[in-house]
């Protein structure tokens, strides 16, 4: 039997009280991964907020020039460079007046725990995002979560931590933002099914037999969303949807049987919730991450913002179709990891991260990504209720297994 998940911190009722804002009603926001796709969209939202939000801390790993440019524009109190080698290249006069530099993940965690931060946007890519998300939740902060890997790896531990510390997790991922919004129209005991939409990526109609020959350039050409390279490849394999199934399970405290995926090429309906009376409640908007990012900052309220608007006068075609299991074997892995829980998500995530890196480096075929993930998921030493240490150990093990597999 699956372990009983802890209560989700994102159910509508417990989150409905707005968090206190800092001085002058302005929320001091820490943007982790500020140089990435979500990070730069977050800074757009902050810049257009008319003083509702300010960037108090910006963190990146190695993109020093881009980070310093952001610091000049946004004047945060802190910039954090997590890679010490990259930080060593920052000259003494590079920072604007009033901005200080901190170096390394320990320094980042300490700043996130401090009183100067009201809200944390967790947008580091990959497993590296877990520790800072954990530090922020441990300090009772509200986290706008883009880093889905945090919940895929350690969902039950993370949601339990948030509940114990009175912290809140508000999703940034567009599907989960849509589900979060749709869930506000009914009680959690009235939910029958949660349907995640997927664009189907660039290979939705490409013949399955030709997918082994897909190049990184082809996989990086997403038809509807503009995103960082890792998640763009995940969208092409539909591993992104696999990870999102696991994310949804823990975030909304759902049974695995309640989770479904439908392909929707226009990326306008961002996901849906079916209730007991047969009503299906959906959230719609153009594919523009600035809307879910802003909702995660403004929740439980809404305000005007920079995201594109739907123009219904132009006409709107919405299509839906089931995902093709031959083209997209990764989706099954997501259902499996959501059903098994325990260490399955962490192992799937780690194997996929390394496999995507190897594919982008030209040492693994596109179709090998799902295949190697399936094998490693099958072979791993499963634990139903792992500790963070178990998760870290299996994460390293799965990474090494992919390296061995790509060499063989
Ligand atoms: P990008 O690759 O565009 O950006 C990644 C960011 O993380 C950069 O700022 C990068 O810094 C930083 N980073 C990378 N490695 C580390 C590390 N080891 N330690 C600290 N920081 C690091 O990614 P995206 O913005 O596309 O995605 C970010 C997260 O949001 C992912 O988890 C993704 O799944 C999720 N997400 C993204 C969506 C999108 O539309 N892009 C949609 C939904 C979810 P540097 O530039 O210095 O390398
Ligand atoms: Mg998504």
SS3 label, residue 227 = coil
Q: What proportion of the chain, given as a percentage, has pLDDT over 90? A: 91
- Give the Cα separation of 308 and 224 in Å (integer): 13
- Give the Cα separation of 220 and 357 in Å (integer): 13
For 251-286, the pLDDT digits (tens) are: 999 999 999 999 999 999 999 999 999 999 999 999
Question: 5-19, 143-157, 170-184, 315-329 — which is least confidently predicted?
Answer: 5-19
Q: Where does the pLDDT of residue 408 fall: very low under 50, low under 70, confident under 90, or very high at 90 and above?
A: confident
Q: Is 357 in the pocket of ligand 1 (CB under 6 A)?
A: no
* Furthest CA-CA distance within the chain: 63
Residue range 395-399: average pLDDT?
98
Contact 137, 147 (CB under 8 A): no
Mutate which of 36, 63, 84, 224 for ligand 1? The one with the most ligand atoms within 8 Å of its CB, which is 36
Checking if the pLDDT of 16 tops 90, the result is no
Residue range 236-265: average pLDDT?
98
Q: Is 222 in the pocket of ligand 1 (CB under 6 A)?
A: no
Residue spans of the domains in the chain: they are 23-172, 176-287+314-340
23-172 belongs to which homologous superfamily? NAD(P)-binding Rossmann-like Domain (3.40.50.720)
Residue 361, C-beta contacts closer than 8 angstroms, at least 6 positions apart: none
- Which pLDDT value is given to residue 373? 98
Contact 137, 169 (CB under 8 A): yes
- Tokens coding 343: 């260490």
- Which pLDDT value is given to residue 101? 97
Gap from CA of 177 to ligand 2 centroid (Å): 9
- Give the Cα separation of 132 and 109 in Å (integer): 6
**Position in ligand 1 atom list of the atom nearest CA 67:** 47
Q: Where does the pLDDT of residue 406 fall: very low under 50, low under 70, confident under 90, or very high at 90 and above?
A: confident
Q: Where does the pLDDT of residue 407 fall: very low under 50, low under 70, confident under 90, or very high at 90 and above?
A: confident
- Tokens coding 237: 């394999």
Gap from CA of 129 to ligand 1 centroid (Å): 9
Mean pLDDT, the chain, integer: 94
Checking if the pLDDT of 402 tops 60, the result is yes
Residue range 147-160: average pLDDT?
98
Gap from CA of 24 to ligand 2 centroid (Å): 33
Checking if the pLDDT of 141 tops 90, the result is yes
- Which pLDDT value is given to residue 109? 98
Gap from CA of 226 to ligand 1 centroid (Å): 13
Q: Where does the pLDDT of residue 19 fall: very low under 50, low under 70, confident under 90, or very high at 90 and above?
A: low
Residue 198, C-beta contacts closer than 8 angstroms, at least 6 positions apart: 235, 238, 240, 241, 261, 262, 263, 264, 323
**Position in ligand 1 atom list of the atom nearest CA 230:** 2
Residue range 375-399: average pLDDT?
97
- Which pLDDT value is given to residue 1? 36
SS3 label, residue 326 = coil
pTM of the model: 0.95
Q: Is 270 in the pocket of ligand 1 (CB under 6 A)?
A: no
Gap from CA of 187 to ligand 1 centroid (Å): 34
Residue bearing tokens 């990146």: 60
For 345-362, the pLDDT digits (tens) are: 999 999 999 999 999 999
Q: Is 128 in the pocket of ligand 1 (CB under 6 A)?
A: yes
- Give the Cα separation of 408 and 403 in Å (integer): 9
Helical pair 229-237 and 239-251, crossing angle rounded to 10 deg: 100
Selection from 231, 253, 239 nearest residue 180 by Cα: 253
Checking if the pLDDT of 4 tops 60, the result is no
Q: Where does the pLDDT of residue 22 fall: very low under 50, low under 70, confident under 90, or very high at 90 and above?
A: low
SS3 label, residue 155 = helix
- Which pLDDT value is given to residue 92? 80
For 44-61, the pLDDT digits (tens) are: 999 999 999 999 999 999
Checking if the pLDDT of 8 tops 70, the result is no
Checking if the pLDDT of 13 tops 60, the result is no
Residue range 282-304: average pLDDT?
97
- Which pLDDT value is given to residue 15? 35
Proximal ligand: closest to the CA of 35: 1
């Amino acid at each position: 039997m699956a372990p009983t998940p802890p209560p989700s911190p994102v159910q509508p009722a417990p989150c409905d009280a707005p968090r206190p804002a800092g001085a002058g009603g302005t929320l001091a926001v820490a943007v982790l991964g500020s140089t990435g796709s979500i990070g730069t969209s977050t800074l757009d939202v902050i810049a257009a907020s008319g003083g509702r939000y300010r960037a108090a801390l910006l963190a990146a790993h190695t993109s020093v020039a881009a980070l310093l440019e952001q610091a000049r524009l946004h004047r945060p109190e802190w910039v954090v460079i997590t890679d010490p080698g990259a930080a060593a290249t920052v000259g003494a006069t590079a920072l604007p007046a009033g901005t200080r530099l901190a170096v390394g993940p320990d320094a980042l965690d300490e700043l996130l725990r401090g009183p100067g931060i009201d809200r944390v946007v967790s947008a580091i890519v990959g497993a590296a995002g877990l520790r800072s998300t954990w530090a922020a939740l441990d300090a009772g902060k509200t986290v706008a979560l883009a880093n889905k890997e945090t919940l895929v790896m350690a969902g039950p531990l993370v949601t339990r931590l948030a509940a114990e510390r009175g912290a809140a997790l508000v999703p940034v991922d567009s599907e989960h933002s849509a589900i979060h919004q749709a869930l506000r129209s009914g009680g959690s005991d009235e939910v029958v099914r949660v349907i995640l939409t997927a664009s189907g990526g660039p290979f939705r109609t490409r013949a399955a037999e030709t997918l082994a020959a897909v190049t990184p350039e082809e996989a990086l050409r997403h038809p509807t969303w503009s995103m960082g390279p890792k998640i763009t490849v995940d969208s092409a394999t539909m591993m992104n949807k696999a990870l999102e199934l696991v994310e949804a399970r823990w975030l909304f405290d759902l049974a695995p049987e309640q989770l479904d995926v439908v392909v929707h090429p226009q990326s306008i309906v961002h996901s849906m919730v079916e209730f007991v009376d047969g009503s299906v409640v959906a959230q719609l908007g153009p594919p523009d991450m600035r809307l879910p990012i802003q909702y995660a900052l403004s929740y439980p309220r809404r305000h005007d913002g920079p995201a594109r608007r739907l123009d219904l006068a132009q006409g709107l075609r919405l299509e839906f179709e089931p995902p093709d299991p031959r083209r997209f074997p990764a989706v099954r892995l997501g259902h499996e990891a959501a059903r098994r829980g325990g260490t399955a998500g962490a192992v799937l995530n780690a194997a996929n991260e390394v496999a995507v890196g190897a594919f982008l480096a030209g040492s693994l075929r596109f179709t090998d990504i799902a295949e190697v993930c399936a094998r490693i998921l099958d072979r791993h030493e499963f634990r139903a209720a792992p500790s963070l240490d178990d998760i870290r150990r299996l994460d390293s093990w799965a990474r090494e297994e992919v390296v061995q597999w790509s060499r063989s």
